[in-house]
Structure 1
Amino acid sequence: MPLQFIMHANGFDLCLGDRCVLSHRADDPAFEIGTGVPDMEMVRGNFRIADDLHRRLPLNCFADDNGAIRLWNADQPETIVGIGIDIDAHHARLKIRCTDKNINRMWIAMARDADESFWGGGEQMSYLRLNGRRFPFWTSEPGVGRDKTTELTQIMDTEGLAGGDYWTTNYPQPTWLSSDRYAVHLETAAYSVLDLIEADRVAVECWKADLDLELFADESLPDLVTRLSDRFGRQPPLPDWAISGAIVGLKDGDATFDRFDKIAASGAAISGLWCEDWVGIRQTSFGKRLFWDWKWNAARYCDLPVKITALSAQGIHYLGYVNPYLAVDGVLYQEALAENYLALHQHDDSPYAVDFGEFDAGVVDFTNPAAAAWFSERIIGQEMLDFGLSGWMADFGEYLPTDVRLFDRSDPMEAHNRWPVLWAKVNADAIASRGKTGEATFFMRAGYSGVQAYCPLLWAGDQCVDFSRHDGINTVITGALSSGLLGNAYHHSDLGGYTSLHGVVRTPDLMHRWIDMAAFAPVMRSHEGNRPADNLQIDSSDAILAHFARMSNVHARLAPYVRALSNEAVATGLPLQRPLFLHYDDAAYHDIQDQFLYGADMLVAPVVHADQHGRQVILPDATWCHLWTGQDYARGTHPVTAPYGQPPVFYRKDSAHAALFASITEEFGE
């Protein structure tokens, strides 16, 4: 159905076919403006956000000056909101601008059908279907627990606003898709909110009165996802090495290599060794933290260049870690300070130091092109790529304080959400400068609109090492599906989870289930977590190591299929992990977030609850073949047994890749 704009004597309609999506009338205005003062508190990337609202005015007057729309309030006629319209059948852009720069709030009311479903919102971790809830868009730490009813979340809130909630996420994005085959995007970096609580309308709030409201429409949801990928950017293909074996994460200094040899000797298919501690360790009460001076720490890894060369000869790629901040007691901080590359306090020229929990770090000011180029070349280019790293975790990006002074004098309340995109560009530019786009890679947890153009691979952030509903293993699936609908083709997680606090530790059951799930992601990467000594690792027992070895080989055998999906992603922007409704038009699938399509030809239903050895699996319309037994299944809901090493996985019997899948059945099945 095409988009169309219809002008009336006292307002206008924006329609999708014969269905009105946005309707404004002078006596029933869709737009309101106001003023407010944000009330913000940040504690180590966790935010308390409130609004001191001063006024809110409906725009109840309308004029059409030859297609140039003017809106205002009858009691304040000097303040004009102008709306310019660019529209074709598939895309509409409303350019909304206010003449009074003191106006810093806008509300927009859009129409919705009672049975309409909505998804998107960036990387949402708790809910795939957004209906019935309110979603603020503000990049931050997601929190620990993320459920205000739980003791863990309450403890973390008391310790520094760190409990989080269902909507808190490293990667928000004010873009949402409708089951009616259209999508809406707010082109703004200001704090904004999508409110879907009321059943008859979509309410939008933005802390800025100048923004673009974009609508996209297409004939199918896959085509709509492609259209969004065209809009926000497309990732390069994943490197062959990143998908052809597991990436083992160890942070044990020189002892890492003996442990790595033991893991390799298990028969595991390994393509990478990831050592985030290559820069050294700082011990804190939270656990082992890294020393944020982004260069090789010879005291922790005494002979690392030789080791990297030896690993390369075995076909093993070496990966490290970096983030956009510099510890004030590091060498690189002094270099940045001397060049005036650091963000400053608002009222003097002193560098702004952020408390990261028992140490402070400076903020490299990426609004300064020279500072961004310095970080890209001096740190990532010279200290990492030239040193021999093939990839890295590009961590953080969410912590820009809202009271800094930036080089470009932009409002830090808006720069905050843009920061992950600037950070991703710094990393991508470094790789491009060495001609290694699609060969070297990095992975990020933070994001915002447009990060798709620079970040080649997302990871799900810092899950708790448990099965909890809002912060455990299951949130990885929701994060992959929600972000994938917005053009983020590649997603993966820390195998085993990351956050271990207040007695929450990995169980053998969790490790086995995460191993099973990780094998069916584009990248399979383990992580030791924030407290390695307190938690099980992939080499903690013979049983866990044998299971990891088995599933890493399953992951490696899927590489030709993953390569085909990666090629499809490059061409169309379609994600590798997809909700069922993307290919099967059935409202019964709109809420499903604990299983997914892996491409169009494979369905994966991980076990994401503790101490369960089977689950109900929903199969859409096709003949599906069980990967481990070869048994055929028809459409419907089926009980499926799931011992460790055999998570419920099915493939379409008519798939062009059926021979590959059947070979896995023959080698690894019953």
Structure 2
Amino acid sequence: MKFTDGYWGMRPGVEALHPAQAYDVESDPSSLTVYAPTRRIEHRGDTLNRPLATIRFTSPMDGVVGVRITHHSGGVERPPRFELPGAGSPPVTTHVADDVAELTSGPLTARIVRGDDWRVDFVADGRALTSSGTKGMGFMTTSDSAHHVVQRLDLGPGDVVYGLGERFGPLVKNGQVVDIWNNDGGTASEQAYKNVPFYLTNAGYGVFVNHPGRVSFEVASEMVSRTQFSVEDQELEYFVIHGPTPKDILDRYTALTGRPARVPAWSYGLWLSTSFTTDYDEATVTSFVEGMAEHRIPLSVFHFDCFWMREFNWCDFEWDPRTFPDPEGMLARLHARGLRTCVWINPYIAQRSALFDQAASKGYLLRRRDGSVWQWDRWQAGMGVVDFTNPEAREWYASHLRRLIDMGVDSFKTDFGERIPTDVVWDDGADPERMHNYYAQLYNSTVAEVLREKRGGADAVVFARSATAGGQQFPVHWGGDCDSTFASMAESLRGGLSLAMSGFGYWSHDIGGFENTPDPAVFKRWVPFGLLSSHSRLHGAGSYRVPWEFDDEAVDVLRRFTTLKLRLMPYLSAVAREAHEQGTPMMRPMALEFPDDPATTYLDRQYMLGDRILVAPVMSAEGDVSYYVPDGTWTSLLDGSKVTGPRWVRETHGFGSAPVLVRPDTVLPLGATDDDPQYDYADGVTLLVHEPADGHDSTLVVPAAEGTGGTTVRVTRSGATVRATTDRDDVPWRLRLGGTDTLVEAEPGTTSLTLSL
């Protein structure tokens, strides 16, 4: 929200108050509190009839400084608040002197200048990462009497901002106005399904605004050298998170707000959907499954979209008997083929559903202030919204999911959760404005917890659309309703990379696009992008997405990249472990992996899959693509060709190809199985050694199928000899020079191999 009129003036009706000096400072072993009047105090009379800002500095974890700005503190604090599982009481030091006051947590210091001008510097590594100077903090009252708390943090020359959720515009947010407010707005506008009040910069720090409701960001868009954020409230809390690298920032942020959960190995395989409004029954499903097998395309998950339930009844959690008269038998038959199953759900109860009256009578649905059930006709006629702040409603909803799991359902697609009204009363007295975004957290956590419970605490997966801060704990999330065009393919990738910079470890999208039917060229170009994402799903709106609906070449392209992904499982499983343990996303913007290369700063049409594989999706029918290659000699994983950077490359690719490059000095484990994501990854593994530097010495763990434990392999290079040793001797394995046919093979019992360059 903009408050100023250019640099000098204020917009009509806006009154501004800013801290003028750090008049008084109090400290204790864990905090520093600054009392800052909005006018300099020259004599006692100046203390009268004057607002006082109270700014409290704390630390929830090492390297993170919290700032709470308060005007009037007497309000009633209402839920929700973000849960911060990593928050604690780390050791801090405070220092108060006549000229400065400081709170230090690990490498980060908040330094409050006690001079003639108000200033707070956030200092690390001997420099100010960012600052809040004169008029950088304040209270704004607008013409409608709304009270806002505002913070502006400096941006230096070359500083750029990433994150703020899954946003489909440019990856770099400088120059953008971003409102943190979940909307069902598709992928072609400034709206987003997943809004996260967190951003990170290339300047060594990130910022998390600890407010679950609407937060308005002006990212170098009101004042071009500042990032501004504001809330309509009497209080604002935010955390400055030290890096120094972007990965370090994500590590600290996800440690604070929750790590991305592990997901089961089977979820990395190919998902196939019925699509949305298409006609389907068990015969249709069986024909798709058998067709994939006949075309030798490995399938891991079959998804039933909305019409597995009867129309006008969503959600009643009952299979439509007209099309699925034997759901238990059908699910068992799919399981017998080695498939997992997923069904679509949403958090709404249509009026025609047999569950509506039950939920309404027991207080399980959101109510208006007059006590009536909140209803409307958008999406489902007369639908109400489940109130997940009511523990009984949450358990009631979960009980229906348990029944489906007992039938044989393995996962749920948790659609919607963004259209949450604010003219309602919540069971726990929650603030409706704060609950609008936070609803997604309660919805997805309810479903994820049921799945984990039914799996005995083992890894589970949802396929979710809406989210907010902390939502990374309940993966996987997909990109929503994109169009079936190359432009939409690009905007989807931008959204996924933006979400990655917001702490989310996994991400998916509808291969070929959702709306309309893709041209065969769009579908075939989208396939490599889809299969080289963390999770891969074929889904659409009004048409089937099986490849033979397009052409024979589409079948070949899908087979090639599906089997490639399954052979990459030893690598992907290790990358997923990084996401879970450190918060580093599986799909990474180039700037996250190469923060010291200024050429990567704005790149958003290519990405790194883990730290070793560069992917540049082809977004043209003709196959023309341009992409940037960082320093070193990179090797195509598909044909073994070499590309040396740093430089821009222009190429033309056929439909069965795309730039998929392996980073130099890489040992890439390639599995022996290409028809299932679950297998013993070490059994028959091929270690692809790409451009090893002389003196190379690396150790990697080839993980077990579910990503825990595994086989340790050490690879070294001395002169022209590459040597690999393993701690497992009961399986065959190979050592191969990447991009060539040069390899050596080890039979069981052999724990060491050498290769001549």
Q: Does 1:429 align with 2:449?
A: yes
If each structure's helix is expressed as a fraction of its own residues, which one has the higher value?
A: 1
558 and 658 in structure 1: CA distance in 2 versus 1, 3 angstrom threshold: closer
367 and 104 in structure 1: CA distance in 2 versus 1, 3 angstrom threshold: farther
Q: How many angstroms apart in 1 are the aligned matches of 2:49 and 2:526? A: 60
Q: How many angstroms apart in 2 are the aligned matches of 1:547 and 1:359? A: 41
89 and 441 in structure 1: CA distance in 2 versus 1, 3 angstrom threshold: closer
User: Which among 560, 566, 570 is matched to residue 560 of structure 1?
Assistant: 570
Deviation string 1:119-145 (CA, Å, 9 cap, x unpaired) is 01111111211112211111111246x
Q: Which residue of 1 aligns with 2:281?
A: 253
Q: Does 1:95 align with 2:56?
A: no
1:59-98 matched pairs, under 5 angstroms: 59-60=19-20, 62-67=22-27, 68-73=33-38, 77=49, 79-87=51-59, 90-98=63-71
Q: Does 1:479 align with 2:491?
A: no
440 and 449 in structure 1: CA distance in 2 versus 1, 3 angstrom threshold: closer
Normalised to the residue count of structure 2, the TM-score between the two structures is 0.72
319 and 474 in structure 1: CA distance in 2 versus 1, 3 angstrom threshold: same
User: Which among 202, 215, 218 is matched to residue 179 of structure 1?
Assistant: 202
Q: In the TM superposition, what is the alpha-carbon distance from 1:360 to its structure 2 partner?
A: 2.8
Q: In the TM superposition, what is the alpha-carbon distance from 1:66 to its structure 2 partner?
A: 2.0
Q: How many angstroms apart in 2 are the aligned matches of 1:264 and 1:209? A: 61
276 and 106 in structure 1: CA distance in 2 versus 1, 3 angstrom threshold: same
Q: How many angstroms apart in 1 are the aligned matches of 2:340 and 2:235? A: 46
54 and 639 in structure 1: CA distance in 2 versus 1, 3 angstrom threshold: closer
Q: In the TM superposition, what is the alpha-carbon distance from 1:489 to its structure 2 partner?
A: 0.6
Q: Which residue of 2 aligns with 1:118?
A: 161
Amino acid at match of 1:90: G
Q: What secondary structure, in the 3-state scheme, does the structure 1 residue paired with 2:300 have?
A: strand
388 and 82 in structure 1: CA distance in 2 versus 1, 3 angstrom threshold: same
**Length, aligned pairs only:** 579
334 and 304 in structure 1: CA distance in 2 versus 1, 3 angstrom threshold: same
315 and 53 in structure 1: CA distance in 2 versus 1, 3 angstrom threshold: farther
Decide whether the 8 Å contact of 1:293 with 1:326 is kept in 2.
yes
Decide whether the 8 Å contact of 1:253 with 1:278 is kept in 2.
no
Decide whether the 8 Å contact of 1:641 with 1:648 is kept in 2.
no
Q: What secondary structure, in the 3-state scheme, does the structure 2 residue paired with 1:629 have?
A: coil
Q: Which residue of 1 aligns with 2:676?
A: none
Q: How many angstroms apart in 2 are the aligned matches of 1:272 and 1:612? A: 32
Amino acid at match of 1:332: L
230 and 297 in structure 1: CA distance in 2 versus 1, 3 angstrom threshold: same
Q: Which has the larger radius of gyration?
A: 2
Q: How many angstroms apart in 1 are the aligned matches of 2:458 and 2:739? A: 31
Q: In the TM superposition, what is the alpha-carbon distance from 1:296 to its structure 2 partner?
A: 2.2
Q: How many angstroms apart in 2 are the aligned matches of 1:207 and 1:399? A: 20
Q: Which residue of 2 aligns with 1:150?
A: none
Normalised to the residue count of structure 1, the TM-score between the two structures is 0.81
Deviation string 1:359-397 (CA, Å, 9 cap, x unpaired) is 231111111122122212x12222x22221111211111
Q: In the TM superposition, what is the alpha-carbon distance from 1:606 to its structure 2 partner?
A: 0.2
Q: How many angstroms apart in 2 are the aligned matches of 1:428 and 1:268? A: 29
Q: Which residue of 2 aligns with 1:404?
A: 424
1:491-502 matched pairs, under 5 angstroms: 491-500=507-516
Q: In the TM superposition, what is the alpha-carbon distance from 1:208 to its structure 2 partner?
A: 2.0
User: Which among 268, 293, 309 is matched to residue 264 of structure 1?
Assistant: 293
Q: In the TM superposition, what is the alpha-carbon distance from 1:626 to its structure 2 partner?
A: 0.9
Decide whether the 8 Å contact of 1:103 with 1:209 is kept in 2.
no
Q: How many angstroms apart in 1 are the aligned matches of 2:456 and 2:526? A: 31
Q: Which residue of 1 aligns with 2:348?
A: 325
Q: Which residue of 1 aligns with 2:263?
A: 238
Q: How many angstroms apart in 2 are the aligned matches of 1:89 and 1:406? A: 36
Q: How many angstroms apart in 1 are the aligned matches of 2:256 and 2:443? A: 20
Q: How many angstroms apart in 1 are the aligned matches of 2:320 and 2:200? A: 46
Q: Does 1:445 align with 2:465?
A: yes
Q: Which residue of 1 aligns with 2:724?
A: none
Q: RMSD between aligned alpha carbons?
A: 2.7
Q: In the TM superposition, what is the alpha-carbon distance from 1:550 to its structure 2 partner?
A: 2.5
1:25-424 matched pairs, under 5 angstroms: 55-60=15-20, 62-67=22-27, 68-73=33-38, 77=49, 79-87=51-59, 90-99=63-72, 101=75, 104-143=147-186, 146=188, 165=189, 167-196=190-219, 197=221, 198-243=223-268, 245-251=269-275, 252-254=280-282, 255-277=284-306, 279-282=308-311, 291-346=314-369, 348-357=370-379, 359-376=381-398, 378-382=399-403, 384-424=404-444
Amino acid at match of 1:374: W
Q: Does 1:597 align with 2:616?
A: no
Q: What secondary structure, in the 3-state scheme, does the structure 1 residue paired with 2:472 have?
A: helix
Q: In the TM superposition, what is the alpha-carbon distance from 1:589 to its structure 2 partner?
A: 0.8
Q: In the TM superposition, what is the alpha-carbon distance from 1:52 to its structure 2 partner?
A: 11
Q: What secondary structure, in the 3-state scheme, does the structure 2 residue paired with 1:476 have?
A: helix
Amino acid at match of 2:226: R
189 and 140 in structure 1: CA distance in 2 versus 1, 3 angstrom threshold: same
Q: How many angstroms apart in 1 are the aligned matches of 2:493 and 2:254? A: 20
Q: In the TM superposition, what is the alpha-carbon distance from 1:220 to its structure 2 partner?
A: 1.9
Q: How many angstroms apart in 2 are the aligned matches of 1:658 and 1:429? A: 33
Decide whether the 8 Å contact of 1:117 with 1:131 is kept in 2.
yes
Say which structure, 1 or 2, has more relative contact order (CA 8 Å, 6+ apart). Answer: 1
Decide whether the 8 Å contact of 1:604 with 1:648 is kept in 2.
yes
328 and 72 in structure 1: CA distance in 2 versus 1, 3 angstrom threshold: farther
Q: In the TM superposition, what is the alpha-carbon distance from 1:411 to its structure 2 partner?
A: 2.1
Q: In the TM superposition, what is the alpha-carbon distance from 1:596 to its structure 2 partner?
A: 0.3
Q: How many angstroms apart in 2 are the aligned matches of 1:55 and 1:379? A: 52
Decide whether the 8 Å contact of 1:464 with 1:498 is kept in 2.
yes
Q: Which residue of 2 aligns with 1:611?
A: 621
Q: Which residue of 2 aligns with 1:14?
A: none
358 and 238 in structure 1: CA distance in 2 versus 1, 3 angstrom threshold: closer
Q: How many angstroms apart in 1 are the aligned matches of 2:205 and 2:457? A: 32
Q: What secondary structure, in the 3-state scheme, does the structure 1 residue paired with 2:591 have?
A: helix
Decide whether the 8 Å contact of 1:496 with 1:511 is kept in 2.
yes
Q: Which residue of 2 aligns with 1:510?
A: 522
Q: How many angstroms apart in 1 are the aligned matches of 2:518 and 2:457? A: 36
Decide whether the 8 Å contact of 2:53 with 2:70 is kept in 1.
yes
Amino acid at match of 2:58: D
Decide whether the 8 Å contact of 1:123 with 1:483 is kept in 2.
yes
Return 5+ residue gaps in structure 1 as ranges.
1-33, 35-50, 147-164, 284-289
Decide whether the 8 Å contact of 1:279 with 1:291 is kept in 2.
no
Q: Percent identity?
A: 23
Q: In the TM superposition, what is the alpha-carbon distance from 1:278 to its structure 2 partner?
A: 5.6
Q: How many angstroms apart in 2 are the aligned matches of 1:424 and 1:78? A: 46
Return 5+ residue gaps in structure 2 as ranges.
1-9, 28-32, 40-45, 76-144, 671-685, 689-735, 742-757
Decide whether the 8 Å contact of 2:528 with 2:561 is kept in 1.
yes
